[in-house]
Structure 1
């Protein structure tokens, strides 16, 4: 299963808060596919190829009840001809949300485990590590194959002229791929969307190629209260950004990324004549958890 990247655009945008002398553009990975959106496909691509090469017929992966990774994996597995099992963190809800409904509708078997048991998901004694027909993909696609796929993100359009590359970080897989591919003159900046995410330093470093040359850093103060924490200010920012640019973003990743970018701009973080590339990692399905009419798109 392969996707053409032709529909992914590189959109230079202008807003009321961007100063002259600073250029900013969004790489629109959200345009790739309605369900296997954004960076999710890049993290799945080589994992699914490995499963096929190994003769596996089932994919097992992990995530929460609103996980973009779970939703995307369910659809990708159906399209590629794999059975799929999702190990879901937390008790089964009485009324499943849209993510779980979508995953089940595409044939994914959902196995709910307690939050305590979920911590042991990578224990080698777990049943799914002992099934000859099964390949296990870590939560969020966080492995070397996931990072390898994310290296392709910077090859879709010419990006060597950008001085800074900004991306939201959950597991850090996408950021690792970007760092591996970026030029020595580029600074790659990750915006963790989790509170207390200093562990990402090691998780990212473990996925970096020894020959990577780009500078990189994580800025930890832009999580907005923690993972999936939503404020009226964030909603207002997302709506205003859409009204000014016509670009929809999500409440978990790219919305917070752009809000962090605005804060950095206002702090004078970027030198004059900087060219900033921001990665739109998709995940718009996450907005479906909001009440209708909350967002302007």
Structure 2
């Protein structure tokens, strides 16, 4: 084999492969296919040169080029901690931010529903009578009664763990059942608001609404926000079944489903913080204003996290999905 002729014939291909490798993740679909083709050709060229035992410098260059191309084509993974960092600083907040047009209306309408139910129960003694006997209601709403003792009925650590588990399960159910046109999600939201509304109504009817809010707000702001985010994501997933947009229904559901799985993990972390507040802050001896301040601070921190980090990632194109290399290709690609 005439090495000079061989190099002259194929140098442009090697230079093109090196150029594509420098571009990294910014390749178009056609360029990615071209990279695969050039990688296969260069691997063949390297094999021919190694067989002939000619030009160690050229062999070294092509060996390095083929190794880089192989790592790109086969999708070499980054360290796990970097994936986790990207998820927490980009993917999860971006997913929450992008779904805000679903969970914010869900939050507003749910809060109005809970308030309406609470007003109706609190101003209608006959409705209260259908919930329980007068003695039972007095036991629930009196100082030190069931509503207050609930938060200190178990050791803080085990109580926080129990609350976290229950809320994480509820959020996951909203995300999973969203695929059923979102109907189960609406029912779960209604049940949550009904329970909250009953508490508001009974405690306001007993003249102790301030005590009830002092117990609920420290952890409830962040907890309910997480539930609303889960519900909004579930409703969005359900709407995708009805209207997948310009993509196929399968592709749209796959993308939304992957984002929902990531959302479940992220919300579990948010609910862990809420559970810690409910287990340690809500039943504490801190003054009511201090406990509520902690709850407001946690809520504001989450919103800033979503709107600053999430907004920035969303504007950069992050949709809360896994990285492109980890997705199933929607169209056949060159191999």
Normalised by the length of structure 2, the TM-score is 0.24
- Decide which structure has greater helix share: 2
Normalised by the length of structure 1, the TM-score is 0.27
- Decide which structure has greater strand share: 1
Rg bigger for which structure? Answer: 2
